[in-house]
Amino acid sequence: MAAWHTLRSPAAAAAILLSACALAASTLSACTAGGDSGPPPYVPAASTPAGGNSAGNSSPSAPAGAPAVAGRIEAGLQLPWSTVFLPDGTAIISERDSALLKTVSGGSGTAGTLGKVPDVVPGGEGGLLGLALSPNFTADRYLYAYFTASQDNRIARLRIDQSGGGLQLGAPEVIFTGIPKASTHNGGRIRFGPDGYLYVGTGDSQRREQPQDPKALGGKILRLTPEGRPAPGNPFGDNPVYSLGHRNVQGLAWDSAGRLWSSEFGPTVDDELNLIVPGGNYGWPEVTGAPGRTGFLDAKVVWPSTADSSPSGLEIVGGTAYLGALRGQRLWAVPLRGDSASDPVGHFTRTYGRIRDVSLAPDGHLWVLSNNQNPDYVLVLALTG
């Protein structure tokens, strides 16, 4: 079992670290990362089944049970990065290097292509990255996308219209620019919060002076209006910065009490799960992990070796945070207890390879995006409470 550190209230509930081969035995003929055989095809449903898990409906005092493999969706994906779900259950998935938006239709599982986001310049870790759906989508039809352009990382919104029984992608309207780019550390996760504002995770773009500078956009979590302005009530006034001292934020999610959590890459040590507060300074590059240094906020969970984690997408269901691990090639489950966290539990270790994103589907399943390029797929997991 990988080592970790947690800052938590007394003793975590016992959790079982499942053997990936044992868990997948009923559906896999071999235990290999992205091998020839695998889970059966899965057809998503658009509605939540009775008794199924959704955010906030399981007890925050006990971790969810081990997820079970419901199947996988083959959609010809290449380097998928983010998933959002339309009101009818249709999934939209971004591909980093191709800049394509792929679709999987709710109910039928039919795969297709919505369109290509223009002006994306892929390279290294840059390209078409995070997606977010407007909280007023039924009225404004906006899909938001974070992507790498020729000069910077930026955010645009694109209308998705229904025409002739199909979806049509409109031209992008760029709403925010100037996020620094590099071959690595581009951040890229975006999500609308419970307050209706857009939260943006950025990387330090290999510019170590940026994370501690509240006037710089690198190494931050930003908070914007849907039009791309600094959101009212931000901690530094008319400034988009919400928190600082980050290295490379890759996951954003809220718990049932409305607390914001983020996942973040460490350098060669100390990957982090952080509880975000307005104006909080999380230390990079001065400190990593949870050293207890005055003026900086400690991470709630620290993975000392990035080989065990390198956490990307983050989702919170009930009382459990689920993190996809890239180098660690597993799904981490972290029981949350108020403003603290208990010991992480790893699932599917080195069974499905690198995991880029974790998203809660409308039917209560977790959709997990592989990141292996051979080609990639959606692993669908059923949660047990």
Which CATH number fits the domain that encloses residue 91? 2.120.10.30
The answer, yes or no, to whether residue 271 has pLDDT greater than 70, is yes
What does DSSP assign to residue 44? -
Average pLDDT over residues 281-307: 97
pLDDT level of residue 64 (50, 70, 90 thresholds)? low
Q: Which residue has the tokens 């309207």?
A: 173
CA 179 to chain CA mean position, Å: 19
Give the count of domains, the chain.
1
Q: What is the DSSP string of 73-139?
A: EEEEESSEEEEEE-TTS-EEEEETTT-EEEEE-TTT--EEEEEE-TT---BTTBSEEEEEE-TTHHH
Is the backbone of residue 228 left (phi > 0), alpha (psi -120 to 50) or beta? Answer: left
The pLDDT of residue 136 is above 80: yes
> Region 140-152: what's the mean pLDDT?
98
Specify the pLDDT at position 42.
Answer: 65
pLDDT band at residue 163 using 50, 70 and 90 as cut-offs: confident
Q: What is the largest CA-CA distance in the chain?
A: 60
Q: In this model, does residue 194 exceed pLDDT 60?
A: yes
Please state the separation of Cα 318 from the chain's center in Å. Answer: 16
- Does pLDDT of 13 surpass 70? no
* pLDDT score of 330 more than 70: yes
Residue 276 contacts residue 249 (beta carbons within 8 Å): no
Rg (CA), the chain: 19
Q: Determine the Cα–Cα distance for residues 244 and 220; give it in Å rounded to an integer.
A: 5
Q: Which domain holds residue 65?
A: 5-384
H or E segment to which residue 320 belongs: strand 320-325
pLDDT-based confidence at 349, cuts 50/70/90?
Answer: very high
Please name the residues in contact with 196: beta carbons below 8 A apart, sequence gap of 6 or more.
135, 226
Write down the pLDDT at residue 373. 86
Please say whether the beta carbons of 383 and 69 come within 8 A: no
Per-residue confidence (pLDDT) for residue 38, from 0 to 100: 61
Q: How confident is the model at residue 71 (pLDDT cuts 50, 70, 90)?
A: very high
| Residue closest to 198 by CA, chosen among 165, 156, 170 | 156
Q: So what's the pLDDT on residue 164?
A: 80
- Return the percentage of the chain with pLDDT > 70, whole number: 83
Q: How far apart are CA 31 and CA 192, in angstroms?
A: 37
Mean pLDDT of the chain: 87
Identity at 267, one-letter amino acid code: P
Bigger pLDDT: 20 or 293?
Answer: 293
81-133 per-position pLDDT tens digit: 999 999 999 999 999 999 999 999 977 778 999 999 999 999 999 999 999 99
Find the range with the poorest average confidence among 102-111, 187-196, 304-313. 102-111
Q: Which residue has the tokens 């409109």?
A: 170
Nearest to 336 by CA among 290, 274, 282: 274
Spatial neighbors of 173 by CB under 8 A, at least 6 apart, are 156, 157, 158
β-pair type (173-179, 128-133) = unpaired
Nearest-CA neighbor of 54 among 260, 342, 316, 322? 316
pLDDT at res. 39: 73
- Paired tokens of 119: 């002006």
**pLDDT-derived band of residue 385, with 50, 70 and 90 as boundaries?**
low
pLDDT at 118: 98
Task: Tell whether the model's pLDDT for residue 355 goes beyond 60.
Answer: yes
Tokens of 305: 């070796």
Is the pLDDT at 156 greater than 50? The verdict is yes
**Tokens for 294?**
């005055």
* Res 12 pLDDT > 50: no
pLDDT at 315 over 90: yes
The reported pTM is 0.87
Q: Alpha-carbon distance 149 to 84, whole Å?
A: 22
Q: Read off the pLDDT of each residue in 253-264 and give the average, rounded to a whole number.
A: 98
Model pLDDT, residue 3: 47
**Among 101-115, 188-202, 222-236, which stretch is predicted with the lowest mean pLDDT?**
101-115
The DSSP annotation for 287-316 comes to --S----TTSPPPSEEEEEGGG--EEEEEE
pLDDT at 50 over 50: no
Q: State the amino acid at position 23 in one-letter form.
A: L
Two tokens, residue 342? 């208990």
- pLDDT by residue (tens digit) across 210-224? 999 999 999 999 999
DSSP string over 188-223: --EEE-TTSPEEEE-B-TT-TTSTT-TT--TTEEEE
Q: How far apart are CA 242 and CA 223, in angstroms?
A: 6
Give yes or no for residue 49 having a pLDDT over 80: no
CB 82 within 8 A of CB 371: no
Per-residue confidence (pLDDT) for residue 121, from 0 to 100 = 98
**Residue that wins the pLDDT comparison between 36 and 294:** 294
Given pLDDT bands bounded at 50, 70 and 90, which one contains residue 58?
A: very low
- HSE on the CB side for 248, CA within 13 Å? 21
Confidence of residue 43 (pLDDT cuts 50, 70, 90): low
